[in-house]
């Protein structure tokens, strides 16, 4: 592409603030925007070509005009979505970046080409022997979230009982494997949302089955269950060992008959309430997110908080950006595990920016199998 | 009293497991029990004369047959209540105690004379220059709860914004004063429960007024409010400064327009929900108890937990018995403060075991002004 050329700049535009579940029609693909491929005179940012975009649950929060506590600000109707992503520098007005650099960062617009002025939020990609898409997941924000959330917030000890919800997602799959690496017992839950099962029954059941199989057979979780199949989440967590004589081929289950030491919380609501009934003394709950609540106008009430007194439980909300100072330490930890095949990292990759809206809707309804990524361009 | 004599042993008996609010009629005073004033042959416990009994909110939890997480077991219908208290050793079968020793401990039956077999739970009272009743409060479990809960669990820093609920109680009044001692800004809430206000309108309003006055005028809180007078707890917490042109003489209020760093949680439910909306980044909530929930068959749902993620809030349930190793350190800290008049400690003392049931009911409905104590005998 010639420098200074005017090129098409396809975008995914956020229509307007929403209530309830995100639908594809809440976004649209705009194909008639163009961008001149050069930085304005004196600009201190970078001009980038966007390569990979990350679909993350928190993005739903930015689609409602509400106080999210100032961490991220809500999207602007009529403008492109933004999120984590990987991009290639085409031109730089900043001494820290040069043409050809690969970067990842939190404010990549959902479009083909962007000018990013806030270069302080960008990380330069040093290890290019890894798949670039990993810099939307295991080697970027979700990986750091799993690492900091598990090792720093949960203070895990060998042999402890760990429960991870949304365990087939970008963060959950890593927390489970980090916990196994430490010698813990790990159970994960997964499952598509019920509202989708009425419309997309077969797809959703299929996804949930795939997710549960993934956790047990490929990611090394000791046990996994599809929470949408459980009438009673408390009973599911307490389950010791039963023959499940349905069409499912699972013949025994053992979750937490002795209780949970650590809960890595991604979903909130009813699951948190059931977990509170099963926490062990001095247990810890690291709250990464509460995706089951993001679509609700009024969040569900959590009733079992009293149990945190008698069991002396700690609940800690955390955000990954408090831990980015550990990023190079994390890479030292995780890169050898990836290279030696000791970590399995599963991605759910969708080709083409125009398929981004469907991918994001799928993520928010729990239909992704692994980290949800959208490819804009491969280089 | 002659050794070996058979004496009357008045008792307060727990009738049966209850639902809803405790009523005086759920207990009765039994006057026809006797006890022989000697230890059985070979007994390793102590025979004591009970002096002061402590009324504490957790006692309500023991009146329902439910899983309290194993910290204390439920009361036995037909037997005396038990609780924290101060007693004098009349006879000892244990080398650690001798006749005449004064002790405090968690399992003192509500009766005049007791045999206590589990002497390991007893603390010997070393500083007898203090009022003995203090060993149900500031120098015993509630004092240690305030000390450990505030300094160990909350990690306070000078200048931080502290909110204490049930602030006129045994623990709350001390937390507020410890926080002032540290140079923090402190607001307390107090107030009788609404259900009592219908029956006992004047008494309850009077109590609440007294409590709020106590916090501001005597205990040095920067601000205090009666939460039963607030239509909107969130607004009350955010309040900056208003003239309150009612019959109350308060003319300005300033709670937390800039948010709350530390919440010392004694009540739960709606108050916790309102506080969650007002927590500052990296805020801490030490959960000591949730007295507003103890009378409910099903606890209230708390809806604003999502805020702990965006503000990275820590919620820590704790129990005082994890901190008793700090007891002598605590006495070194608090005894000089008491002796120098730097701590004000307010007690609500009721004379006579037969008035114990009313005192306990009053405490659970928030009508106590200061630490609720029942005097069985003064020596």
Question: A62-71, A94-103, A231-240, B21-30: which has the minimum mean pLDDT?
Answer: A62-71
Q: Do B287 and A281 touch (CB under 8 A)?
A: no
Q: Which domain holds residue B198?
A: 141-322
Q: B299–A299: do the CB atoms touch at under 8 Å?
A: no
**pLDDT at position A224, please?**
92
Q: What is the CATH number of the domain that holds B71?
A: 3.90.180.10
| Residue B210, domain member (yes or no) | yes
Note whether A125 and A135 are within 8 A (CB): yes
Are B218 and B169 members of one domain? yes
Continuous segment of H or E residues that includes residue B46:
strand B46-54
Give the integer Cα–Cα distance in Å for A255 and A189: 10
- Mean pLDDT, chain A, rounded, equals 90
Are A23 and A133 contained in the same domain?
Answer: yes
Q: Do both A167 and A26 map to the same domain?
A: no
Average confidence (pLDDT) over B319-333? 96
Q: DSSP class of residue A302?
A: B
Q: Which site among B166, B281, B308 would you substitute to test the A interface, given the most A Cβ atoms closer than 10 Å to its Cβ?
A: B308
The reported pLDDT for the residue numbered A199 is 41
- Rounded CA-CA distance B287/B266 in Å is 7
The answer to whether residue B16 sits within a structural domain is yes
Instruction: Establish, for the pair of chains A and B, how many residue pairs have beta carbons separated by less than 8 Å.
Output: 106
CATH number at residue B158: 3.40.50.720
Give every CB contact of residue B346 below 8 A, 6+ residues apart in sequence.
B168, B173, B214, B218, B219, B369, B370, B371
Please indicate, yes or no, whether residues B145 and B129 belong to a single structural domain of this protein.
Answer: no
- Distance between start and end Cα atoms, chain B: 12
Residue B364 lies in a domain: yes
Instruction: Say if residue B173 is in the same domain as residue B309.
Output: yes
pLDDT for B62-119, tens place per residue?
A: 999 865 555 678 999 999 999 999 999 999 999 999 999 999 999 999 999 999 999 9
Are B281 and B166 in the same domain?
yes
Residue A305 lies in a domain: yes
Nearest to A187 by CA among A247, A132, A262, A246: A262
Q: How many domains does chain A have?
A: 2
pLDDT attached to residue A339: 96
Inside any domain, residue A157: yes
- Are A264 and A291 contained in the same domain? yes
Q: Is the CB of B301 less than 8 angstroms away from the CB of A300?
A: yes
Show which of residues 50-69 on chain A sit within 8 Å of chain B, judged by CB atoms.
Answer: 68-69
Reported as a single tens digit per residue, the pLDDT across A308-339 is 998 999 999 999 999 999 999 999 999 999 99
Closest partner residue to B287 (CB to CB) among A303, A308, A319 is A308
- In three-state secondary structure terms, A267 is coil
CB A338 within 8 A of CB A312: no
- What gap in Å lies between CA B89 and CA B373, rounded to an integer? 20
Evaluate whether A126 touches A101 at the Cβ level (below 8 Å).
Answer: no
* Structure confidence by residue, pLDDT tens digits, B106-163: 999 999 999 999 999 999 999 999 999 999 999 999 999 999 999 999 999 999 999 9
Best A165, A288, A305, A311 member to test B by mutation, with max B CBs in 10 Å, is A305
Quick one: B131 and B145 in the same domain? no
Rg (CA), chain B: 21
Chain A residue with Cα closest to B276: A69
Query: Of B299, B312, B322, which is closest to A317 when you measure between CB atoms?
Result: B312
Q: Per the CB < 8 Å rule, is A299 touching B300?
A: no
Show residues of chain B in contact with A316, CB under 8 Å.
308, 312-315
| Stretch 78-137 of chain A: residues touching chain B, C-beta under 8 Å | none
pLDDT number for residue B246: 57
Q: Does residue A90 share a domain with residue A72?
A: yes
CA A172 to chain centre: 8
Does A70 touch chain B if contact means CB atoms closer than 8 Å? Answer: yes
Nearest CB among A300, A306, A310 relative to B299 is that of A306
State the residue for tokens 């995100």: A22
Q: Which residues have C-beta within 8 Å of that of residue B235, sequence separation ≥ 6? A: none
Report if residue B14 sits inside a domain: yes
Distance of CA B62 to the CA centre of its chain: 15
Same domain, B161 and B287: yes
Please state the φ and ψ torsions of residue B352, each to the nearest 5 degrees: 100, 130
> Nearest 5°: phi and psi at A287?
-100, 105
How far apart are alpha carbons B286 and B264 in whole angstroms? 5
A215 and A283 co-located in one domain: yes
Q: Are residues B119 and B212 in the same domain?
A: no
Give the pLDDT band of residue B367 (cuts 50, 70, 90). Answer: confident
Longest dimension (CA), chain B: 70
Chain B residue numbers with beta carbons less than 8 Å from the beta carbon of A317 are 307-314
């Amino acid at each position: 592409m010639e420098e200074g050329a005017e090129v098409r700049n396809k975008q995914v535009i956020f229509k307007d603030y929403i209530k309830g579940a995100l639908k594809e029609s809440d976004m649209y693909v705009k194909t008639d925007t163009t961008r001149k491929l050069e930085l304005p005179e004196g600009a201190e940012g970078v001009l980038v070509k966007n390569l990979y975009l990350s679909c993350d649950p928190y993005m739903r929060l930015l689609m409602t005009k509400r106080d999210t506590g100032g961490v991220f600000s809500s999207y602007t109707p009529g403008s492109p979505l933004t999120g984590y992503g990987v991009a290639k520098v085409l031109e730089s007005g900043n001494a820290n970046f040069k043409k050809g650099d690969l970067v990842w960062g939190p404010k990549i617009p959902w479009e083909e080409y962007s000018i990013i002025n806030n270069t302080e939020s960008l990380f330069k990609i040093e290890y290019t022997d890894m798949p670039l898409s990993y810099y939307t997941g295991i080697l970027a924000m979700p990986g750091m979230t799993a690492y900091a959330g598990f090792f720093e917030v949960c203070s895990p000890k060998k042999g402890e009982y760990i429960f991870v919800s949304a365990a087939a997602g970008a963060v959950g799959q890593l927390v489970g494997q980090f916990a196994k690496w430490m010698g813990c017992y790990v159970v994960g839950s997964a499952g598509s949302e019920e509202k989708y099962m009425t419309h997309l029954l077969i797809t959703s059941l299929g996804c949930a089955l795939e997710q549960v199989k993934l956790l047990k057979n490929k990611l090394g979780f000791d046990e996994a269950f599809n929470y949408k199949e459980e009438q009673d989440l408390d009973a599911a967590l307490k389950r010791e060992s039963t023959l499940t004589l349905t069409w499912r081929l699972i013949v025994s289950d053992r979750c937490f008959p002795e209780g949970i030491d650590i809960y890595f919380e991604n979903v909130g609501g009813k699951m948190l309430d059931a977990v509170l009934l099963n926490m062990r003394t001095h247990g810890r709950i690291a709250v990464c997110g509460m995706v089951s609540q993001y679509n609700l106008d009024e969040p569900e009430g959590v009733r079992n908080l009293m149990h945190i007194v008698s069991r002396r439980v700690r609940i800690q909300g955390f955000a990954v950006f408090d831990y980015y100072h550990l990023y190079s330490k994390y890479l030292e930890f995780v890169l050898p595990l990836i290279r030696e095949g000791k970590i399995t990292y599963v991605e759910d990759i969708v080709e083409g920016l125009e398929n981004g809206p469907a991918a994001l809707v799928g993520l928010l309804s729990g239909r992704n199998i692994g980290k949800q990524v959208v490819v804009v361009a491969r280089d």
